[in-house]
């Protein structure tokens, strides 16, 4: 079960990310490869993550490709990363955001996204094209998926 959604005002946050336009079936591999690259680059540049990992989704239709995700995987950071390979500087958006905490398996995230979309619509708000997941509980192979906590964020128009 997820907590009740809320509306919050966020400040933009500096990030280090790997970007890609990928098919849904490639998500897991993209995350794994990206986190390996981010770890190496951030360690080499002595950049400190300021919070948990995230996956940011932009409207893939802006890329003109149906059936794909425009995805950024990364970490909030204490300073801007220098471009190295696929690792580039980024930013989590600021402004008004609808947020809810999902509790449970990643396989059930879609239901919480739908619930957040319905909550936004029920309040007469207009959702933006950018949303992201903050993985507040780091997954491990031996953990119970029911213990995972993921914050869902969705921009809303002012």
pLDDT of residue 65: 55
pLDDT of residue 126: 94
CA–CA dist 126, 11 (Å, integer): 20
Residue 88 has, within 13 A of its CA and on its CB side, a CA count of 7
Residue 19 has, within 13 A of its CA and on its CB side, a CA count of 12
pLDDT of residue 1: 47
Tokens of 111: 């239901």
CA–CA dist 34, 29 (Å, integer): 8
Rounded to two decimals, the pTM is 0.89
pLDDT of residue 30: 95
Q: What is the DSSP letter of 81?
A: P
For residues 151-155, average pLDDT: 95
The per-residue pLDDT for range 81-136, each reduced to its tens digit, is: 999 999 999 999 999 999 999 988 888 888 999 999 999 999 999 999 899 999 99
Cβ 53 vs Cβ 107: under 8 Å:
no
The per-residue pLDDT for range 60-79, each reduced to its tens digit, is: 555 445 668 889 999 999 99
Q: What is the DSSP letter of 28?
A: H
The per-residue pLDDT for range 14-46, each reduced to its tens digit, is: 999 999 999 888 988 999 999 999 999 999 999
């Amino acid at each position: 079960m997820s907590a009740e959604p809320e509306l919050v005002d966020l400040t933009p946050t500096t990030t280090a990310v790997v970007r890609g336009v990928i098919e849904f079936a490639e998500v897991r591999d993209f995350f794994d490869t990206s986190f390996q690259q981010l770890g190496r680059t951030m360690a080499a540049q002595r950049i400190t993550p300021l919070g948990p990992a995230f996956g940011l989704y932009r409207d893939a239709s802006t890329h003109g490709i149906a059936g794909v995700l425009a995805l950024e995987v990364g970490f909030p950071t204490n300073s801007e990363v220098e471009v190295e390979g696929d690792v580039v500087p980024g930013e989590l958006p600021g402004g008004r955001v609808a947020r809810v905490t999902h509790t449970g398996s990643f396989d059930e995230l879609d239901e919480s996204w739908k619930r957040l979309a319905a909550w936004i619509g029920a309040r007469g708000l207009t959702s933006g094209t950018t949303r992201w997941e903050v993985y507040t509980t780091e997954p491990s192979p031996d953990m119970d998926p029911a213990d995972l906590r993921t914050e869902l964020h969705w921009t809303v128009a002012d």
